[in-house]
Amino acid sequence: MRSKITIAIDGPAGSGKSSVSKIIAKRLGLLYVDTGAMYRALTLKAMEKGINLEEEIMLVELAHNTEIELTHREEGTIVLLDGQDVTEKIRETDVTNNVFYLARAEGVRECMKKLQRKIAEKGNVVMEGRDITTVILPDADYKFYLDASFDERVKRRRKELEQNGRQVVESGLSKDIKMRDKKDLTRKIAPLRKAKDAIVIDSTGMSVEEEVETVISYIK
């Protein structure tokens, strides 16, 4: 393996990209960067401050005046928002439902781009999100687009929620994922796209371990 590598991974919700990225980072001794957590942290702050999420100027100002840090501990990535641990809070349904307001704001994305590129500058990272292979790190050493069928993604999400002790309404779950897909794919700025030169992996029917092995088989 080369001395410093950068791996960029994109894909829709439920494609397995977070689980796979985490394991790959651990196995290869790389830094894991969850960019979705950054958008989630900003969303939480905007909600807590009672900012009108339709007001893009306010969101951009907020992004410029917020410190987001991902630190790594034995138990996993800890998300710090202005120094406060918000690792659990950013996974709440309200945050998930509102994150698109921040994700569609051009100025917010510009701010995140700077921060994410700065983190990746030193190399030896696995960065995952929606625009990593296309916008943030188009020159990454390895670029992957992870996908899975809609039904499989719903199934995985259900399992994840159940494991976290949450109650699941099947029809609501499908609707939520469909809505998130639509928002990620159709926003004007940096929508989710397959980069032309990304390796596409469809993990339908694969276990996380099989998906990890498939990704790692491409990394020299």
Residues in touch with ligand DC (CB under 6 A): 13, 35-36, 39-40, 99, 103, 129-132, 180, 184
Q: Min. distance of Cβ 220 from ligand DC in angstroms?
A: 26
Question: How far is Cα 85 from Cα 72, in angstroms, rounded to an integer?
Answer: 12
Q: Which is nearer to ligand DC, 41 or 199 (CB)?
A: 41
Question: How far is Cα 164 from Cα 61, in angstroms, rounded to an integer?
Answer: 34
Q: Which is nearer to ligand DC, 16 or 129 (CB)?
A: 129
Token duo for residue 219: 């990394």
**Given 3-state DSSP classes, what are the helix, strand and coil percentages for the chain, each rounded to the nearest 5?**
50, 15, 35
User: In Å, how far from its chain's centre is CA 13?
Assistant: 8
Q: Which is nearer to ligand DC, 52 or 97 (CB)?
A: 97
Question: How far is Cα 32 from Cα 24, in angstroms, rounded to an integer?
Answer: 9
Q: Min. distance of Cβ 82 from ligand DC in angstroms?
A: 19
Q: Min. distance of Cβ 178 from ligand DC in angstroms?
A: 13
Q: Min. distance of Cβ 102 from ligand DC in angstroms?
A: 8
Q: Which is nearer to ligand DC, 29 or 88 (CB)?
A: 88
DSSP class of 146: E
